[in-house]
Amino acid sequence: MSQYILETEDVEYEYPDKTRALQGISLGIQKGKKIVVMGPNGAGKSTLFLHFNGILKPKKGRVFFDGKQVEYNRRYLTQLRKKVGIVFQDPDTQIFAGTVFQEVSFGPMNLKLEADEVKNRVNKAMADAGVCDLAQKPTHLLSYGQKKRVCIAGVLAMEPEVIIFDEPTAYLDPKHSHILLGTLDELHQSGKQVIVSTHDPDLAYSWADYVLIIKDGKLLEAGSAEKVFMDDEILKQADLKKPLLLEISEVLQQKGIVGKKYPKTVEELKGIL
């Protein structure tokens, strides 16, 4: 068994219009860690994710799932997509069905499950994503936040091992971002591998075990949240702001108010002070 659930090795990818979105990227997603992928717009995060479930095939290099090289035949890809789910950024380009229930049933139906099993899975996924009360609502009458949760339910219903969230908090208000983070934590605790991309350093710092920073289709840096965000040079290169909490604790340390401690939440900071 590999230590990595997903790995890439010198992966290069070029879009048909010759945009070189990935330029030899090598990285590993460690099993059981809360992973955040960061990087400026156009860095190649979404393109990378599409390699994780075999939608895109690298022009050069290799992709591994659980230590085994990804094959690009239909049978393998079906299995891979069952195990690696992606929640894309824009719900309007994911939702196609009429009612929430129908939408969420799409994935399990493609897994060719029995109708009863589909129903069970849909109900469970809707409960986990908090959209049970919307089951019979038409999808086009939902709010943005509701649509987002329906997309999550749609992926959960397939019961993947890995769930990738591409910029899940974009356009969400702070309250719904917070609820979403709770959902991510629950998923992590229930044993799913969660991978999130975001622009928000504060979110990344407080949530992630492990941060990967991507720039220009290459891996710029990877490591624990503290390690990555304390490296001012890397932050500058990646055009990232230092997380507020980290900044505060660094100031407090310089002034000798606290020892070498790195609180991840405001509550932890209060506890230390």
Partner 1 sequence: MLLDGFAYSNRLRNIHPGEKMAFSLITMVIGFFPSIYSCGLIILIIAAAVILIGKVPVKTYLRLMLLPVFFLVASLLPILINTGVNPDSTLIYFIFFKSTIGITYNSLIKSGLLFMRSMALVSCLYFISLTTPILDIIAVMKKLKLPDILIDLMFLVYRQLFVMMDTAESIYVAQNARLGYATFSSGINSLGRLVSYLIIKSCSDAQRLYTALVSRGYEGELKVLEPSYNTSIKNIILIAAIDTVLLIIALKTGGTIK
Ligand X SMILES: Nc1ncnc2c1ncn2[C@@H]1O[C@H](COP(=O)(O)OP(=O)(O)O)[C@@H](O)[C@H]1O
Residue 3 contacts by C-beta under 8 Å, 6 or more apart in sequence? 28, 30, 31
Question: Which parts of 80-139 interact with partner 1 (CB under 8 A)?
Answer: 81-82, 85-86, 88, 90, 92-99, 101-103, 105-111, 115, 118-119, 122, 136-139
Question: Which parts of 27-46 interact with Mg ion (CB under 5 A)?
Answer: 46
> Where does this chain touch partner 1 (CB under 8 A) — which range of 24-32, 48-56, 61-69, 191-199?
48-56
Chosen residue from 6, 25, 28, 46 binding ligand X by CB under 6 A: 46
Beta bridge partners of 215: 218
Answer whether 206's CB lies under 8 Å from 265's CB: yes
Question: Nearer to partner 1 by C-beta: 15 or 209?
Answer: 15
47 binds ligand X, rule: CB under 6 A:
yes
Torsion sign across C-alpha atoms 162, 166, 167, 173: negative
Distance CA 229, CA 204 (A): 10
Answer whether 198's CB lies under 8 Å from 178's CB: no
How wide is the angle at C-alpha 201 spanned by C-alphas 196 and 207, nearest 5°?
50
Per-residue x/- track, 45-84, Mg ion (CB under 5 A): -x--------------------------------------
> Phi-psi region for residue 262, left (φ > 0), alpha (ψ -120 to 50) or beta?
beta
Answer whether 51's CB lies under 8 Å from 37's CB: no
Question: Nearer to partner 1 by C-beta: 95 or 203?
Answer: 95
Contact footprint for ligand X (CB under 6 A)? 15, 17, 19, 21, 39, 41-47
Residues at the interface with partner 1 (CB under 8 A): 50, 53, 55, 78, 81-82, 85-86, 88, 90, 92-99, 101-103, 105-111, 115, 118-119, 122, 136-141, 154-155, 158
